[in-house]
């Protein structure tokens, strides 16, 4: 699958890149993509939630009233979950939410997401460029020249500090290195705007 390479002005450079069919041309596996997104979102949860149960409440264990004759239910402690400031019944405890996936499943999910974007025509290739200094205004101008509507995921081959600082605060845009691409970011990102050299980096990571 060949896609023409655009310059920063949005015009064709006369060159094209060949997107590997093994990554951009497979039949998208929706279930595997679901598992990858589930795993990614689960990994974002801290799992540090905690509520005190009856045995963890500080306070006296003295019986607060006599057993019979009060006309109300028997009660033995102020830590009773039925009382205000009492312990919580089956409260949340710290836990890990991580969902482990093997490497082949992750690779298939990422390739499926990229193939889905290719099938939708939501991939654009731009020639490699950089800024001498962080310039958000110039990056917004580049995005405008690409005539992209909606969200954009800008993919670079390597970390470029000036590009990163220029792109990170642009609303509706996110930036990722090719080696850090994941299924969730690809599906969420809208149109993929990829630098020319990032294709080789993606091929090296996923092949």
Q: What is the pLDDT of residues 9-21, one digit of tens each?
A: 989 999 999 999 9
The per-residue pLDDT for range 133-161, each reduced to its tens digit, is 999 999 999 999 998 888 999 999 999 89
Which CATH number belongs to the domain containing residue 200 in this structure?
3.40.1370.10
Task: Let me know whether 73 and 165 are in one domain.
Answer: no
Question: Cα–Cα distances in Å, from 137 out to 36, 87, 141, 144, 165?
Answer: 35, 55, 6, 11, 11
Q: Are 80 and 151 members of one domain? A: no
Which of these three, 96, 128, 160, is where a domain ends?
96
- Together in a domain, 27 and 118: yes
Q: Provide the residue range defining the domain that includes 76.
A: 48-96
**pTM metric for this prediction:** 0.82
Residues 92 and 102 in one domain: no
On the question of pLDDT at 193 being above 90, the answer is yes
Instruction: Say if residue 111 is in the same domain as residue 30.
Output: yes
- Helices marked H in the chain — which ranges? 21-24, 30-43, 103-120, 136-146, 161-167, 183-188, 198-206
The reply to whether 143 and 198 lie within a common domain is yes
Q: Are 206 and 21 spatial neighbours (Cβ–Cβ below 8 Å)?
A: no
Domain count, the chain: 2
Question: 57 with 117, same domain?
Answer: no
Tens digits of per-residue pLDDT, 88-144?
999 999 999 999 999 999 999 999 999 999 999 999 999 999 999 999 999 999 999
Whole-number Å distance between alpha carbons of 121 and 148: 12
Residues 41 and 142 in one domain: yes
Same domain, 110 and 128: yes
Q: Are residues 25 and 66 in the same domain?
A: no
My answer on whether 79 and 23 are in the same domain is no
């Amino acid at each position: 699958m060949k896609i023409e390479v655009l310059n920063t002005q949005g015009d064709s450079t006369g060159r094209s890149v060949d997107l590997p069919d093994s990554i951009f041309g497979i039949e998208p596996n929706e279930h595997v993509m679901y598992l990858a997104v589930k795993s990614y979102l689960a990994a974002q949860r801290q799992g540090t939630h905690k509520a005190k149960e009856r045995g963890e409440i500080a306070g006296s264990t003295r019986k607060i009233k006599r057993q019979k004759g009060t006309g109300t239910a028997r009660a033995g402690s102020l830590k009773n979950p039925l009382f205000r400031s009492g312990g919580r019944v089956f409260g949340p405890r710290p836990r890990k939410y991580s969902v482990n996936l093997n490497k082949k499943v992750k690779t298939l999910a990422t390739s499926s997401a990229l193939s889905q974007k290719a099938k939708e025509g939501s991939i654009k290739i731009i020639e490699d460029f950089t800024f001498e200094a962080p310039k958000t205004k110039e990056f917004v101008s580049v995005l405008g020249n690409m005539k992209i509507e909606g969200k954009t995921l800008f993919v670079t081959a390597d970390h470029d500090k000036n590009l990163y600082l220029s792109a990170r605060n642009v609303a509706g845009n996110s930036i990722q290195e090719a080696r850090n691409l994941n299924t969730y970011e690809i599906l969420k990102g809208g149109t993929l705007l990829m630098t020319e050299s990032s294709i080789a980096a993606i091929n090296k990571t996923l092949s």
